[in-house]
Structure 1
Amino acid sequence: MIQEYFGLTGEPFGKEILPEHLYLSLRFKELLARLDYGVKKRYFCLVTGDIGTGKSTAIRILAQNLDENKHKLLYLSDSNLKPRDFYRELLFQLGSNPGYLRIDAKRQFNQLILDYFEKRRITPIVVIDEAHLLSHQMLQEIRFLTNFRMDSLSPMALILVGQPELKGTLAMQIFQAIAQRIQVRYHLGGLTLEETGAYVAHHLEVVKARSQIFSTEAIKEIFAYSKGIPRLINNLCIQAMLDARIQDSHVVDREGVLRAIEDFRKF
């Protein structure tokens, strides 16, 4: 509906956008650079940010850019896993049949990680998404993931990804042993007003929009409502463009964005 009405080559502001077409803000580029550095150095990394800021997108880009001959990505996003199931899932992703007992699965995982690193010359990368939802028991278990050969070897990179409250959890005294091991940290915030305008313009350019569509005042309202969070920007832009279609207009103005915001607040 939007695509045909505005004469676009594709649906704008969708999740299906190719990585090479993503808008990369300065903050996002900084995050990618730190993740790349952390992987190369086999560091323990912490990435935090509000919902919709692009944390998982950054991990997706990281995974896409990895050399499969040199890296093995292991991705977990199940926050309800207990330690035994945690090791079992990692072993499944490594192509190994895990032992039943936690201690056996843990020993098996450690040995396999060393095998990848020392014999196959492949660096494992363990990414744990939604880490702010992990139990205290699981967070304590993660501490041991970084302890190889009495803490003298780092055969893998470990990346925790979660919402801002994860920083507060790790600041607690009982987790100091974990926090002190984190070598790369980054908090991904929202876009600035200027970046929000550039973000909207970029997404429209990707689908070959023939005009700017969104007025300057509309962009200001989008930024005020979304606080520069890309997912909220996407949703609001789509709703505002639908409103423009209903109003028989090819321009999204301030009033159209305000109507879209009002619709959001009803649900």
Structure 2
Amino acid sequence: MYSDYFGIRENAFSITPDPRYLYMSERHREAFAHLLYGAVESGGFVQLTGEVGTGKTTVCRAFLDQLPEQVDVALLLNPPETPRELLLGIITELRIPLRTPEAPLKVLVDRLNAALLAGHAKGRRTVVIIDEAQNIRPEVLEQVRLLTNLETRTAKLLQLFLIGQPELREQLTRPSLRQVAQRITARYHLEPLSRAETEDYIRHRLTVAGCREGLFTTGAMKQVYQESEGIPRVINILCDRALLGAFAVDKAQVDGPMVRYAARQWRGAQRPRDGRRGLWRGAGIAAALLLLATALVYTYRDEYLDLPLLRTLLTPALAAPVHAPAAPAVAEPAAP
């Protein structure tokens, strides 16, 4: 919508994981190196984790683009729910002929093993990547572990990559999954971008899209970092909405207030930290009421004090749910 207005060829901040826009920060380079290491070394698992939106999928797609032609890839974007679904997903991705999907589990494993042996004899390697691996059930992870037993005398036939959110790390610390954790030969946790990297990230994406310098002021990029906490997906969303807002009010640059407005509209009427402030305010009022009641009881303990009445007055205030005050609604600027 605003591309022509700002002189860019395309949307620079699409949330689609386009490898052309891959910004290789130091953290992303390290994650990429771990994936390449796993593709070269045979056996075991490679584990890549990171918060939602930190760029795991984008790094993974760039990694796939770098794999040589003799590498076969099975990419499972949705975590399988059963061992059978896992095996069928791998067999389907590798285009291995299968007479019937209803075959017993052992038959599926044997069919996969035969195809892998045939590929190994031709000098081919096989990589299995499971995305959103934090949602894999323990029994499926155990089947994944058993797949690492498919091997020749000198080499493993499968290299497995587990890509997921931080919960995957926590899951693999369970005693029941220690055999799976012991098979992990390389692991890396992808952290959000720093402030300097966030600014470089914004400039990089604008440059790839063919944009001129100075579209975002220094204050705007600082505000983007504060609002996004360095998470690339959130950076994209905020920058896209801020550009739309600048276009709507006929401004040539995005400044800090525009970014704050975009963040407020994206999150809704109220920021999460405002809710916490309201919660503490309500808790403080409740504590003050309790202190007042204690003081009254202590001061007039020898005199008549209508305790049932006092309890009747205080109970509703203490039992009422605490709500943060709602932020005023802000109208979207009308597009010209």
TM range (shorter): over 0.9
> 1:47 maps to which residue?
48
In structure 2, relative to structure 1, the CA distance for the partners of 1:222 and 1:74 (3 Å cut) is same
1:23 matches 2:23: yes
Q: Which letter does structure 2 place at the counterpart of 1:250?
A: A
In the alignment, is the contact (CA less than 8 A) between 1:147 and 1:153 conserved in 2? Answer: no
Larger radius of gyration: 2
1:104 matches 2:76: no
Q: How many angstroms does 1:112 deviate by?
A: 1.8
TM-score by length of 2: 0.75
Alignment coverage as a number of residue pairs: 265
**Superposition pairs of residues 1-267 of structure 1, within 5 angstroms:** 1-15=1-15, 18-43=18-43, 44-68=45-69, 70-98=70-98, 100-117=103-120, 119-148=121-150, 153-266=155-268
CA distance in 2, matches of 1:230, 1:217: 18
CA distance in 2, matches of 1:21, 1:149: 38
CA distance in 2, matches of 1:2, 1:148: 53
In structure 2, relative to structure 1, the CA distance for the partners of 1:225 and 1:62 (3 Å cut) is same
Q: Which letter does structure 2 place at the counterpart of 1:26?
A: E
Q: Which letter does structure 2 place at the counterpart of 1:126?
A: V
Q: Which letter does structure 1 place at the counterpart of 2:106?
A: I
In structure 2, relative to structure 1, the CA distance for the partners of 1:121 and 1:149 (3 Å cut) is closer
In the alignment, is the contact (CA less than 8 A) between 2:12 and 2:209 conserved in 1? Answer: yes
- In terms of mean alpha carbon deviation, does 9-18 or 102-111 score higher? 9-18
CA distance in 1, matches of 2:12, 2:257: 21
Q: How many angstroms does 1:211 deviate by?
A: 2.8
Question: Structure 1 unaligned runs (5+)?
Answer: none
Question: Structure 2 unaligned runs (5+)?
Answer: 270-336
DSSP 3-state at the match of 2:226: helix
In structure 2, relative to structure 1, the CA distance for the partners of 1:126 and 1:207 (3 Å cut) is same
Q: Which letter does structure 1 place at the counterpart of 2:32?
A: L
TM-score by length of 1: 0.93
DSSP 3-state at the match of 1:67: coil
- In terms of mean alpha carbon deviation, does 164-173 or 243-252 score higher? 243-252
CA distance in 2, matches of 1:57, 1:5: 28
What RMSD, in angstroms, separates the aligned Cα atoms of the two structures?
1.8
DSSP 3-state at the match of 1:183: strand
Q: Which letter does structure 2 place at the counterpart of 1:110?
A: N
